[in-house]
Amino acid sequence: MISNPPTKTSNLGYQVLADRITNGQITRIVVLTGAGISTSAGIPDFRTPGTGLYDKLAPLNLPYPEAIFSISYFTHTPEPFYAIARARHPGNLKPTISHAFLALLAKKNLLHFLFTQNIDGLEEDAGVPVDKLLWTHGNWKSQHCHKCHAEYPDDLMKNAIRAGEVPYCLKTECGAAVKPDVVFFGQSLPAEFEDRQKMAAEADLMLVMGTSLKVAPCSQLPRLVKEGVPRILINMEGAGDMGNRGQDLCILGTCDNGVRELADALGWRDELETLWKDA
Ligand code: CNA
């Protein structure tokens, strides 16, 4: 896996790709997103040095940073997760213009499918139809006891997160910690992923945004795109094998700038800004 910025960006300029979209040659765009599309909404990613969550965990004395999202660790020590939960899930967040760009693709019937690794739910808030997206790592919209899987009320969960306290199962015979329905390390992805991942091979363009491509199996989705099909990376740094294929285009910088540039090339900029403002 290559994680350095690619030296070669593309033999295709994005005006060429934009023209293929506007003239109807490209109609099935598959998108993979990660934490980088939500950092400008105020949610830090995991791995960016200095600002990412993994650099801020020292006071919690974890055995290793990923333990905070590991199911085997959570089972006996859920407190660190709830110590940071409020900051990870502040509520009342506004989708970014990158989320609005995804909604615009859907509005124009160009979004074949969106795989998001994010758990913040901002894609739906921006207007991406839920039948066009899969939260591959779950989301914060519901929660269950991690042991007996009993449901747990939303209002009690909100109180626990606000207070930074561990919520426990209401069944007295259980009493285990409650966990939001996000996929922790060591847990399976939603069953739907198995079937949906085939959609990457149906793409006539893949767009990868704001992800380090370090978490499997989503990190493998860009490799499922057929050879000869263009793939675009918009990210602060190189990721995975993006940039290795002749049809790849790597736009290194922020997602928000990248989608604005793409929207300019597509002639959609005003429509994008309006959609975002109204989200
Ligand atoms: P990551 O490994 O932290 O990588 C984020 C990537 O985004 C890095 O390559 C950064 O360089 C890049 N990046 C950061 N900010 C920007 C920006 N403004 N514009 C462009 N690129 C940027 O996170 P991944 O998503 O790759 O890893 C998958 C994990 C992260 C999933 O399990 C998520 O649930 C988890 N996560 C989700 C959220 C969220 O829901 N908002 C936040 C943080 C982590």
Task: Write out pLDDT tens, residues 187-199.
Answer: 999 999 999 999 9
Kindly state if the Cβ of 235 falls inside 6 Å of ligand 1: yes
Q: Ligand 1 center to residue 28 CA distance, Å? A: 24
Q: Which residues of the chain have pLDDT under 70?
A: 1-12, 90
Q: Which one of 3, 37, 45 would you pick to mutate in the ligand 1 pocket, going by the greatest count of ligand atoms within 8 A of its CB?
A: 45
Q: Which residue among 76, 137, 146, 149 is the active-site one?
A: 137
Q: Which one of 46, 51, 188, 237 would you pick to mutate in the ligand 1 pocket, going by the greatest count of ligand atoms within 8 A of its CB?
A: 46
Report whether 206 belongs to an annotated binding site: no
**Residue 56: what pLDDT?**
87
In this predicted complex, what is the ipTM?
Answer: 0.98
Residue 137 is among the residues annotated as catalytic for this protein: yes
**Residue 11: what pLDDT?**
52
DSSP string of the chain, one letter each residue = ---SPPS---SS-HHHHHHHHHTTS---EEEEE-GGGTGGGT---SSSTTTSGGGS-GGG--SSGGGGGBHHHHHH--HHHHHHHHHH--SSPPPPHHHHHHHHHHHTT-EEEEEE---S-HHHHHT--GGGEEETTEEEEEEEETTT--B--HHHHHHHHHHT---B-S-TTT-PBEEEEEPPBTSPPPTHHHHHGGGGGG-SEEEEES----STTGGGGGGGSPTTS-EEEEESS--TTTT-STTEEEEES-HHHHHHHHHHHHT-HHHHHHHHHH-
Report whether 37 belongs to an annotated binding site: yes
